[in-house]
Structure 1
Amino acid sequence: DEEWLIPRERVVDGGPGRDGIPAIDNPIFLRADRVGGSARKLVVGYRAGLEVKAMPHDILDWHEIVNDTLDGEPVALTYCPLTGSALLWKSSTTARNPTFGVSGLLYNSNLIPYDRETDSHWLQMLVQSVEGPRAGDVPEVLPVVETTLGTWREMYPDSQLLTRQTGYDRDYDEYPYRTYRTDDNLLFDVDPLDTRMQIKTRVLGVWVGDAARAYRIDDFGSGITVHNDTIGDVPIVVAGSAQKNLAVAFGRTLPDGTVLSFEPASAPLPAIVTDGEGNTWDVFGEAIDGTRLTERLPLVDSHIAFWFAWWAFHPDSEIAGE
């Protein structure tokens, strides 16, 4: 019997079976300002160097994994519609087949991809392989920015947007889980379950070691709201906008030891925060103005998810503002 690093009895079959939800292996992109769609719909964006890409939730809802390349390196955008979580992983550069597929298995409602090289299973929100030859391995996570398509187009009009030319016949205007995003129902058991807020509330979760905190997206203002915060003993900054459905987190301690403090940037997005030295930083944590031009803020472990899922994986999490 295969050895799992998580309780095997709580790994459930989601129904469609292995590859029943087909990953996209040959993504086709068009310039973002040339692709239609509601300005309010959500996208997941990422970049490396001059390469800037985004993937709409309404496509990810049907496919969950997109195998792509970024700056010449294989990456996998993993998205779980049941937990509302998107993470971008660097794939193995040594594997003959560095791609991932959808296993059809779930743990706490969360996606379990498998890698096609070793057949190992990975648990998305644990950010770790939990079964197989790679068990215990942790993928390198790359930063993503989730926001509305309208906001993304304003920030990066000439970026590449994933198109509906996926090779599959799906009704991408139709959400496959009906009222799931807004109701109080779960399709699978989740333990522990916390109901201090509506369970599908979208939060930005940030964790440092065992310390974790959740920031409700709806608690950010219509403009940019900035929190200079500390998690564990690590100074972080969290910035976001409820209106733009946007929230990002970075470390505040630079490699030279400087600890910065931030306020909302006066320049338009993608500029998001300005520090006490007068540098302005963008949504990916890169300095775009000031003496630290092109420097980067340290990454911290963070991603957006539904509240119930965040709590299930981080049951000691604090809630910002409480």
Structure 2
Amino acid sequence: MKTTNALPKDAIASIDDPIFTTTYFRDSDDVIVLDGDPARAYPLRILSYHGVVNDTVDGRTLTFGVSGKLADDALVMDDRETDSEWRQPSGDCLAGRTLTTLPSTTTTCGEFRAAHPEGVVLEPLPGNSEGGARPSGQAYDMEPYSRYREDDEFGLYGMRGDGERRTWDRTDLDAKTLVLGITHDGDAVGYPLPQVEAAGGVVTDTVGGRDVVVVVGDGELHAFEDPGTSWTLTDGELTGDGAVWDPRTGESDDGRQLHRVPARTLFAFAWQDDHGAGAFYGPNPSSNV
């Protein structure tokens, strides 16, 4: 693993005392949602700039900051209790431990509000808010990230023009194909969005002995525990076992609920860096020609 120093330690400020609100300035912004009482939404606009939000959901034992280092182009976090370093995409500690992935989903802030009327949204840091030095839409400008996503280059070089230019030899996937990665009991499978769409928008599989169903909902990938049903996705509706299910939430029209599987959404190159060329769902997953 190649580790480089990209920035001074804590040059990117983590959010250590998050404040939540029932209002947010842009309903079209994407957010990561954690279920709870109340449900919480973390805008990607804020997460992209701070890298880390330290929040208490089900008990917290470590507090993380941004180390300023990259490991194979992945952000390295460090915790303030043990001074250990962790790769952000996988949650793996460079000393051998692994963080637990919580079930979450990505949607827009507006859709979050509609689904969770009592839900709360992470506030920008003071000074980056509407009442601070600059409006949030300016202080948390997403243009650099949108530009990076659209460009063919990837890694540190693709973001800043620093370091070595990376190459990508696969022909079955682009480096920046969105992948939903699931790990369980020593097994790891990444589900690329185009492959799931090509399979009709829904696939069933087994990861480390866990049966899963991966489905496309509003252009995003979602994964749930599969109860053994035969699934079909038609016009955005997931049907199975005599019911219609929302592919984004796993809720059925007769009151049942699928259990969401802990998973990570990331680029194909980042998933391959962590798990190798063969850790993808689809035909010829290790094809490099």
* TM-score over 0.5 for the pair: yes
User: Structure 1 residue 310: deviation in Å?
Assistant: 1.5
- CA distance in structure 2 between the partners assigned to 1:127 and 1:229 by the alignment: 23
- 1:40-189 alignment, distance < 5 Å: 41-48=29-36, 50-70=37-57, 73-74=58-59, 91-92=60-61, 98-130=62-94, 135-166=95-126, 171-177=139-145, 179-186=147-154, 187-188=156-157
* Alignment size in residue pairs: 265
Which of 13, 23, 44 is residue 22 of structure 1 equivalent to?
A: 13
Going from structure 1 to structure 2, the CA distance change for 1:298 and 1:182 (only over 3 Å counts) comes to closer
- CA distance in structure 2 between the partners assigned to 1:220 and 1:180 by the alignment: 24
User: Structure 1 residue 265: deviation in Å?
Assistant: 9.6
* Structure 2: gaps (5+ residues): 158-163, 285-289
Provide the alpha-carbon RMSD of the alignment: 3.4
User: Structure 1 residue 283: deviation in Å?
Assistant: 4.3
Residue identity in the other structure for 1:181 = R
Q: When the two structures are superposed, what TM-score results if normalisation uses the length of structure 1?
A: 0.69
Equivalent pairs: percent with the same residue? 31
- CA distance in structure 2 between the partners assigned to 1:140 and 1:232 by the alignment: 16
- CA distance in structure 1 between the partners assigned to 2:3 and 2:33 by the alignment: 30
- CA distance in structure 1 between the partners assigned to 2:117 and 2:242 by the alignment: 30
3-state SS, counterpart of residue 12 of structure 1 = strand
Which of 234, 259, 272 is residue 297 of structure 1 equivalent to?
A: 259
- CA distance in structure 1 between the partners assigned to 2:53 and 2:112 by the alignment: 19
3-state SS, counterpart of residue 181 of structure 1 = helix
Indicate the residue corresponding to 1:215 in structure 2. Answer: 192
Indicate the residue corresponding to 1:310 in structure 2. Answer: 271
- CA distance in structure 2 between the partners assigned to 1:183 and 1:288 by the alignment: 41
Q: Which string of whole-angstrom CA distances, capped at 9 and with x for unpartnered residues, describes residues 79-118 of structure 1?
A: xxxxxxxxxxxx32xxxxx311111111122121111111
Residue identity in the other structure for 1:250 = F
Going from structure 1 to structure 2, the CA distance change for 1:179 and 1:24 (only over 3 Å counts) comes to same
User: Structure 1 residue 251: deviation in Å?
Assistant: 2.5
Contact 2:34 2:105 in 1 (8 A): yes
Q: Which string of whole-angstrom CA distances, capped at 9 and with x for unpartnered residues, describes residues 54-100 of structure 1?
A: 11111111101001122xx34xxxxxxxxxxxxxxxx32xxxxx311
3-state SS, counterpart of residue 69 of structure 1 = coil
2:202 is the alignment partner of 1:226:
yes
- CA distance in structure 2 between the partners assigned to 1:250 and 1:66 by the alignment: 25
Going from structure 1 to structure 2, the CA distance change for 1:305 and 1:298 (only over 3 Å counts) comes to closer
- CA distance in structure 1 between the partners assigned to 2:142 and 2:89 by the alignment: 26
- CA distance in structure 1 between the partners assigned to 2:112 and 2:53 by the alignment: 19
Q: When the two structures are superposed, what TM-score results if normalisation uses the length of structure 2?
A: 0.76
Going from structure 1 to structure 2, the CA distance change for 1:154 and 1:19 (only over 3 Å counts) comes to same
Residue identity in the other structure for 1:163 = E
Residue identity in the other structure for 1:251 = E
Q: Which has more strand, going by share of residues?
A: 1
Residue identity in the other structure for 1:248 = H
Q: Which has more helix, going by share of residues?
A: 2
Which of 178, 188, 200 is residue 176 of structure 2 equivalent to?
A: 200
Going from structure 1 to structure 2, the CA distance change for 1:192 and 1:181 (only over 3 Å counts) comes to closer
- CA distance in structure 2 between the partners assigned to 1:160 and 1:213 by the alignment: 30
User: Structure 1 residue 284: deviation in Å?
Assistant: 5.5
Contact 2:89 2:266 in 1 (8 A): no
User: Structure 1 residue 24: deviation in Å?
Assistant: 0.5
- CA distance in structure 1 between the partners assigned to 2:197 and 2:112 by the alignment: 18
Going from structure 1 to structure 2, the CA distance change for 1:120 and 1:156 (only over 3 Å counts) comes to same
3-state SS, counterpart of residue 35 of structure 2 = strand
Residue identity in the other structure for 2:34 = Y
* Structure 1: gaps (5+ residues): 1-6, 75-90, 93-97, 254-258
